[in-house]
């Protein structure tokens, strides 16, 4: 770092400011966590210099002997961790993994049945702004209005009516477990492939805190940088019969040279995720989400579906009379990072939204437990309700910010000097 400071003080100061932000404020973004120093070390290595188009043992470049070992280790560790027959660790991101999965399983124009974006689906599940909605024919299923759970009857009806080539389950903001066996049954009924986009919860699967989709899906896509606590990146697990199609869809169809530094960092993360400590982390993440959600419910903020089974909750703020956008801004001023999020059948536009999403992977990796979650819930309730742009509101924000500082001060994400 001293060298970076000498060579490029502007970027060095960005790094320092971001370290301070992550350390000194509360991170409740559901799709983030803290990687280990070992993962960061692999990411910041000279493996970043190496071109290695192709796969281990079959590269289009020389000098790949060492990076081949990194990729082989990443693949073997991921296969062990997820009891997976085949894994591709090259996708640059979750969206790249999804692009490759579509390319392997469907043709442009084919019908794809996935959760609608306003109900918790991802952009790559059929948004018109994304390849998935531009090149494929998306049909969206929704959450049932009364329960806010996936309406499996509607999924089956839509599948029978539209005969999709591909059915996708998995979401960005669904706080409950997904019935993979039922999705499999529906996919089999209509002869569709089943893809589980496990981006959000693949870390919890690794830590045995939620059920695995691997036995049910034809393809499972995931991100390595959320609750899995690896580098930013994607991965794909598939049945052996689909292995060649998936590999060709990642390279050369969707990507060029793999990021070998990221792949080495993925290998480190997969090893860490196989330890008893990581299982403890994943299970505590879920317990913390439950404690946070219970605390927020007691503050009068209604959790969509009434609670959570995983690492996140979506809070409907309509009864509190605050929009998601305002709640996000108030929390940000008090040092609490979370994001606005639509609630099912949201009357507001997405840029405003009626809810916020909170998640516990980051705070759990810092070592916080249920007691801290209850305290944080009280702070969020207070700042969302009373953090107005008035003199009294500013005082509330200052008080909450001081308490946030005190809490995070007790749980540094990295030992001093290792970040
Ligand atoms: N799929 C789901 C369900 C996600 O939530 C996300 C990201 O939040 C992605 C895919 C895309 O991942 P990335 O941002 O790495 O492209």
CB 344 within 8 A of CB 118: yes
Asked if the interface predicted TM-score (ipTM) of this complex is over 0.95, the answer is: yes
Which of 94, 197, 200 is the best mutation target for the ligand 1 pocket, counting ligand atoms within 8 Å of the beta carbon and taking the most? Answer: 94
Whether ligand 1 lies within 6 angstroms of the CB of 222 is answered as no
Question: CA 205 to CA 197: how far, in whole Å?
Answer: 12
Residue 194: enclosing H or E segment and its boundaries? strand 193-197
Consecutive 10-residue runs of the chain (419 residues): their mean pLDDT? 94 96 98 97 98 98 98 98 98 98 98 96 97 98 97 98 98 98 98 98 98 98 98 98 98 98 98 98 98 97 98 97 97 98 96 98 98 98 94 96 98 79
Question: CA 90 to CA 262: how far, in whole Å?
Answer: 9
Provide the pLDDT for residue 419: 61
Helix and strand numbers (H, E) in the chain are 16, 15
What are 365-400's pLDDT values in tens digits?
999 999 999 999 999 999 999 989 899 999 999 999
Q: How far is CA 113 from the centre of its chain?
A: 21
Whether ligand 1 lies within 6 angstroms of the CB of 223 is answered as yes
Binding-site residues: 117, 121-123
Q: Enter the DSSP assignment of 30.
A: T
Virtual CA dihedral for 260, 266, 267, 268, nearest 10 degrees? 120
Neighbours of 26 (CB within 10 A): 25
Provide the pLDDT for residue 376: 98
Question: CA 299 to CA 262: how far, in whole Å?
Answer: 41
Which of 96, 100, 115, 124 is the best mutation target for the ligand 1 pocket, counting ligand atoms within 8 Å of the beta carbon and taking the most? Answer: 124
What atom of ligand 1 comes closest to residue 171's alpha carbon?
Answer: 3
Whether ligand 1 lies within 6 angstroms of the CB of 173 is answered as no
Whether ligand 1 lies within 6 angstroms of the CB of 224 is answered as no
Provide the pLDDT for residue 126: 97
CA distances from 397 to 296, 318, 335, 387, 390 (A): 18, 21, 9, 6, 10
Question: CA 203 to CA 262: how far, in whole Å?
Answer: 17
Q: Considering only CA atoms, which residue is closest to atom 12 of ligand 1? A: 94
Q: Report the candidate in 190, 193, 127 with the shortest Cα–Cα distance to residue 159.
A: 190
Whether ligand 1 lies within 6 angstroms of the CB of 199 is answered as yes
What atom of ligand 1 comes closest to residue 173's alpha carbon?
Answer: 5
Query: What are residue 137's DSSP bridge partners?
Result: 111
> Helices 324-333 and 391-409, interaxial angle, to 10°?
60
Q: How far is the CA of 94 from the centre of ligand 1 (A)?
A: 5
Which of 33, 95, 204 is the best mutation target for the ligand 1 pocket, counting ligand atoms within 8 Å of the beta carbon and taking the most? Answer: 95
Q: How far is the CA of 85 from the centre of ligand 1 (A)?
A: 23
Q: How far is the CA of 337 from the centre of ligand 1 (A)?
A: 19
Which residues are marked as active site? 51, 53, 197, 223, 226, 232
Binding-site residues for (6S)-5,6,7,8-tetrahydrofolate: 117, 121-123
Virtual CA dihedral for 397, 402, 407, 409, nearest 10 degrees? 130
Question: CA 310 to CA 333: how far, in whole Å?
Answer: 27
């Amino acid at each position: 770092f001293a060298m970076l400071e000498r060579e490029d003080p502007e970027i060095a100061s960005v790094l320092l400011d971001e370290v301070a932000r992550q350390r000194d404020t509360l991170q409740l973004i559901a799709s983030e966590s803290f990687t280990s120093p070992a993962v960061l070390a692999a990411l910041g290595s000279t493996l970043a210099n190496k071109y290695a188009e192709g796969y281990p043992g079959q590269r289009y470049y020389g000098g790949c002997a060492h990076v081949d070992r990194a990729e082989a280790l990443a693949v073997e560790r991921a296969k062990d961790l997820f009891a997976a027959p085949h894994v591709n660790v090259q996708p640059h991101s979750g969206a790249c993994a999804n692009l490759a999965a579509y390319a392997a399983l469907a043709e442009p124009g084919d019908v794809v049945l996935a959760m609608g974006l306003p109900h918790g689906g991802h952009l790559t599940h059929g948004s018109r702004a994304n390849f998935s909605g531009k090149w494929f024919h998306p049909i969206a299923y929704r959450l049932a209005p009364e329960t806010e759970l996936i309406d499996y009857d509607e999924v089956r009806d839509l599948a029978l009516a539209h005969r999709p080539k591909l059915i996708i389950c998995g979401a960005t903001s669904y706080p409950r477990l997904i019935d993979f066996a039922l999705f499999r049954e529906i996919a089999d009924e209509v002869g569709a492939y089943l893809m589980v986009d496990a981006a959000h919860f693949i870390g919890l699967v690794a830590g045995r805190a939620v059920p695995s989709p691997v036995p049910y899906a034809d393809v499972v896509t995931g991100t390595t940088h959320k609750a899995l606590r690896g580098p930013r990146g994607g991965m794909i697990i598939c049945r052996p019969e689909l292995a060649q199609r998936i590999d060709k869809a990642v390279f050369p169809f969707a990507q060029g040279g793999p990021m070998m530094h990221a792949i080495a960092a993925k290998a480190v993360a997969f090893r860490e995720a196989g330890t008893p400590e990581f299982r403890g982390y994943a299970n505590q993440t879920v317990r913390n989400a439950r404690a946070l959600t219970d605390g927020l419910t007691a503050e009068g903020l209604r959790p969509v579906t009434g609670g959570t089974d995983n690492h996140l909750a979506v809070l409907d703020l309509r009864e509190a009379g605050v929009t998601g956008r305002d709640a996000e801004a108030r929390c940000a001023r008090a040092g609490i990072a979370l994001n606005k999020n639509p609630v099912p059948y949201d009357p507001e536009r997405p840029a405003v939204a009626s809810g916020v999403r909170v998640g516990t992977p980051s705070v759990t990796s810092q070592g916080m437990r249920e007691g801290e979650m209850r305290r944080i819930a009280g702070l969020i309730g207070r700042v969302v309700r009373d953090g107005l742009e008035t003199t009294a509101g500013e005082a509330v924000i200052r008080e909450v910010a001081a308490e946030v500082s005190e809490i995070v001060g007790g749980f540094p994400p990295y030992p001093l000097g290792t970040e």
